[in-house]
Structure 1
Amino acid sequence: MTDEASMLEIGPDRSLLLVDDDEVFLRRLAKAMEKRGFDVETADTVAVGCVLARSRPPAYAVVDLRLEDGNGLDVVEVLRTSRPDCRVVVLTGYGAIASAVAAVKIGATDYLSKPADAADVTHALLAGPDELPPPPENPMSADRVRWEHIQRVYELCDRNVSETARRLNMHRRTLQRILAKRSPR
């Protein structure tokens, strides 16, 4: 998708809210999205993101899931209330399936795992509702699928290790060791 083609698809309201607490990533993405024709506003906390979402609801938004002062899904909820037609993409460095499901249930248009570049974000923001994403070039390994399932159950148990271990029929210490490790590729 060329920059010119994406500009034609943006529409009359080019407002875009970016919410992320990674300052370098936020600046880089803001600059790239401005080059693609968006009118960008940035926020680095849930609180600032919610204020901007209420005062000047954007047509588009990209929200990081985990921010220093809370959960990015709170910003998504405010966006849904303030402007129901806002197209929201949730970004996260924690690629858990449970988080993706929660984001879409609350009203996110799409969900991308970091690192996502400006082209991925633009495509997700402007994709039609019936447009399916391309199949992954590198599908998840069996270890990754197992890790994603454990993360999903852990989130469903409100991050309670003992309850998660009980539901997975696994020893609590084993689960703690798995949760302490980085996700497999």
Structure 2
Amino acid sequence: MVRCAEGLGVPRGSGMFRQALQAVAFLSKEKITAKVDYLKKTFSWSDAEVRVALSRAPMLLQRSKDRLQRRSEFFISEVGLEPSYIAHRLVIIDFGMVGRLRPRYYVLKFLKVNGLLDRNWDYYYIFKMREEVFVKKFICPHKEAAPHLAEDYAATCKGEVPTNFIFT
């Protein structure tokens, strides 16, 4: 197990080593290799990017293929993030799609489409932001220009997609 964890690029003395041990504890070398190959294919990561990703978040090996596939489709195909961007900001992979990622992405897209954003915001910053800060920065300032925004955001957080957030 120790060799497998170190093989992921997690040094023995690092704070992530315990997580790396947990990640590989019940996986054979073949399953680890298969999951690494799946990560490369799904996120279009190079060997170096997979190594960076696993050294920062070894528990990726425990994520289901379905969950990883949905995240990849969302981040790469829908949001348009580069694979290397995702590999270096892995915390976003574990955020909830329904309650956080999709609603915030839709709000930003809505604001951009309607010319209500003053600059291009970094998605990592947006996704990582505390809920009350996000609402204060992106919902409240647009109450007059987009009176439905708060309700649409709340509905999207519940899994609904309001018509204002349907983009063609």
TM-score (structure 2 length as normaliser): 0.29
Q: 1 or 2, which has the higher helix percentage?
A: 2
Larger radius of gyration: 2
TM-score (structure 1 length as normaliser): 0.28
Q: 1 or 2, which has the higher strand percentage?
A: 1
